[in-house]
Amino acid sequence: MKRTFCDRCEAPCVNTTVAIQVTTIHHTKNCEYVGTDEHKPVEICLNCADELKQTFPQIFILAPRDEMMMESPIADRDRAEMRRVDARRD
């Protein structure tokens, strides 16, 4: 039996945890890649995972194995690109 504690709410987790790994991807205002920051992985309980799933359902979609380490699509990038094109017109 695996027993640990949730890194978010500190509730005891028995046999099941959800591991979250976050990477911050930095870009300039011109959408040029600058670099990434790797954050320490955390383990959260199923209740906290359910809250995350309600807020960010797209992060719980399983990617094919060869795509798992690729940069995930970010919807805001499209809006940033549109703003950049609009700024050039002005």
Q: Where are the domains of the chain?
A: 3-89
The half-sphere exposure of 83 on its side-chain side, counting CA atoms within 13 A, is 8
Tell me the β-bridge partners of 30: none
* pLDDT, position 21: 85
pLDDT of 57 strictly over 70 = yes
* pLDDT, position 65: 57
* 4 sits in which H/E element: strand 3-5
pLDDT by residue (tens digit) across 31-44? 899 999 999 989 99
* pLDDT, position 1: 64
Beta strands 12-14 and 3-5 are: antiparallel
36: left (phi over 0), alpha (psi -120 to 50) or beta: beta
* pLDDT, position 89: 55
Q: Which stretches of the chain are DSSP H helices?
A: 46-55, 75-89
* pLDDT, position 9: 93
Map tokens 């959408």 to a residue. 31
3-state secondary structure of 68: coil
pLDDT by residue (tens digit) across 62-87? 666 555 444 555 555 555 555 555 55
